[in-house]
Structures are given as C-alpha cells and as structure tokens.
Amino acid sequence: MLDSSRHFQTIDEVKRFVDRLAAHKMNVFHWHLTDGHGWRFESKKYPNLTQHGAWRIQPGYPEKGKTEKYGGFYTQEEMHDVVAYAKARGVTVVPEIDMPGHCYALVSSYPERGCLGIEQRVDYVYTYPADAQRFPTHPGTDVLCVGQDETVKMCKEILDEVLEIFPSKFIHIGGDEVQKKWWKGCKVCQAHKKKHGLKDEHELQSWFIKELDSYLTKKGRRMVGWDEILEGGLAKNATVMSWQGERGGIRAAKMGHDVVMSPQTYIYLDHGQSRMARS
C-alpha cells in the first residue's frame, strides 16, 4: 500500500514503487488515493476535488517565505497508464477512496457534503516520523454527512469514475476512523437514522457502507474496507482489512468473510522499525 495523499509522489515514483513490488513478487498494489490531506484522484464530475482539494498549505512554508501550495493529483489518463504499467508486470492496482471519514479534502472542496456545511481548509501533516501528530490537525469535520441523499449519490458517482479506470475485482472504500460525534450533532443525519430505524451511529455507518457494498456488487466488483466496517454490522459481501490488530480479521473470517491481515504492529513498514529509527 502506498499513501499518496499525506505525501504526493510523481507518476515516475509510483511506477518505481510498482517495479519494487514486482521485484519482490508482490502482485497487488493498494493505492491510497484520497484522504484528509489531499485528494489525488481526478474526477471529471467533481473537478473541485482536485482543483481545490489536492493542495494544502504546508506547515513551515509561510515561515520560510514559500508561497506555493504542497500537493498534486493524478489525471485519469495518468492512472490508466499506471494500471497498464502494473499489469505488464503482473501487478493489479486496487484503488482506495476513503469514505465516509478521512474526508477533509472532500469536505473542504464541497463544504455542503459535511455535517457542518462551513468553509474549511484542506488538512496538513508534518513530516514523518519526527513531527508526526494525530490527524486531523485543522478545525472542521473530516466526516461526510451521510444523511443527505446527495452525499451518497456523489460517492457512487465518484466510484463510477474509479471503476472505469481500475479494472480490479476489489475496490477499497476505506471506512476507518470515522468520528461519529459529527453525526450525533447533525439534524440531517439524525433524521436519516430515524427514517431507516437505525439504533445508533455505528448502525448509520454500517448503513452507508452497505449502500456502497451493494452498489459495487451490482457492478460486478467486491468491496474492501478497514476493520471498522465491522461496527454496527458488516456488509454482506465485504472483505475486511484488519489494521487495528488481528481481532477484527479473525472475527470477520469466522463470519465467513474474506480477510486481508494487515495489523499495523507488524506490517506498517513506514513506522519506526526500532528506537534508533526515531533518533
């Protein structure tokens, strides 16, 4: 998995990453294309996602007199190119569009899609690992207002564009670290919860994920999400990536679901690998 949101890589760098995967006989490239810190997937339908959401003011830049914004995005043509490049090396690209949390960049580009409906900046991050800090770092919400029909429609329309570029069977929709407090304080989300007979915010998240699951299933694809999608009830055809440890993966497997074990403790290779690595 490569995170192109928190830090942006050029297409040449992405291809070099694919070369490394192939050299190690790894045949799946999980491409984390969107997050709070920058939206990297070009959508023709929602151009503001990249015109606005792909760029942020990096901490330290104004102090150093730098006026340019940090960021970038991949055009649809470039992503097609990466898919073909990977395919020629036996690698399948699985895109991740993270929803309904980790959506700072999206909500910043389309404020009406958040529960607050206010203007907010794209979030920023410090450099790893020395100044890593908890996300998000900017005031505002990084959670989508899932109670609005318009929000669900937008998510599906973005996925339509994703499916056209990425032929992979599996499509990752994120689903991790959703701060449900925003839904608790949102009239629209509360009304939606009531309408659908959902007992709490976990069930509201589950309702949203199930919408995406059945949408992708209808299109002949399979949905993957991080292990938080177990909360409030797991969608019928979902595959779970267990990042918070092994428990979620084991639970999902026992329920008969496919699982990708990715516990951060052992296999997040960007974490400090020893005490020395942090000094």
Name the residues that contact Zn ion, by CB under 5 A.
115, 145, 147, 186, 188-189
The C-alpha atoms of residue 125 and residue 138 are separated, in whole angstroms, by: 10
The side-by-side arrangement of strands in the sheet containing 28-32 is 2-3, 28-32, 92-99, 170-174, 222-226, 239-242, 259-261
Q: Compare residues 48 and 190 and give the one whose CB is closer to Zn ion.
A: 190
Q: Does the active-site annotation cover 119?
A: no
Least separation in angstroms between CB 150 and Zn ion: 11
Least separation in angstroms between CB 189 and Zn ion: 3
Is residue 87 a contact partner of residue 69, using CB atoms and an 8 Å limit?
no
Q: Compare residues 86 and 152 and give the one whose CB is closer to Zn ion.
A: 152
| Per annotation, catalytic residue among 30, 32, 35, 228 | 35
Q: Compare residues 189 and 259 and give the one whose CB is closer to Zn ion.
A: 189
DSSP lists the bridge partners of residue 99 as 174
| Per annotation, catalytic residue among 30, 102, 172, 257 | 102
Least separation in angstroms between CB 152 and Zn ion: 12
CA atoms within 13 A of residue 117's CA, in its CB half-sphere: 8
Residue 217: how many other CB atoms lie within 10 Å: 15
Least separation in angstroms between CB 241 and Zn ion: 26
Q: Compare residues 129 and 139 and give the one whose CB is closer to Zn ion.
A: 139
Q: Compare residues 41 and 182 and give the one whose CB is closer to Zn ion.
A: 182
**In degrees, to the nearest 5, what angle opens at C-alpha 53 toward C-alphas 58 and 181?**
90
Is residue 183 a contact partner of residue 201, using CB atoms and an 8 Å limit?
yes
Q: Does the active-site annotation cover 258?
A: no
* Sign of the torsion angle spanned by Cα atoms 135, 207, 29, 88: negative
Least separation in angstroms between CB 125 and Zn ion: 26
| Per annotation, catalytic residue among 177, 200, 203, 211 | 177
Q: Compare residues 21 and 189 and give the one whose CB is closer to Zn ion.
A: 189
The C-alpha atoms of residue 119 and residue 111 are separated, in whole angstroms, by: 6
3-state helix/strand/coil string of 17-86: HHHHHHHCCCCEEEEECEECCEECECCCCCCHHHHCCCEECCCCCCCCCCCCCEECCECHHHHHHHHHHH
Least separation in angstroms between CB 204 and Zn ion: 9
Q: Does the active-site annotation cover 177?
A: yes
Helix ranges (DSSP H) in the chain: 11-23, 48-51, 76-87, 104-109, 149-165, 181-184, 187-195, 201-218, 247-254, 264-267, 275-278
Q: Which residues are catalytic?
A: 35, 102, 177
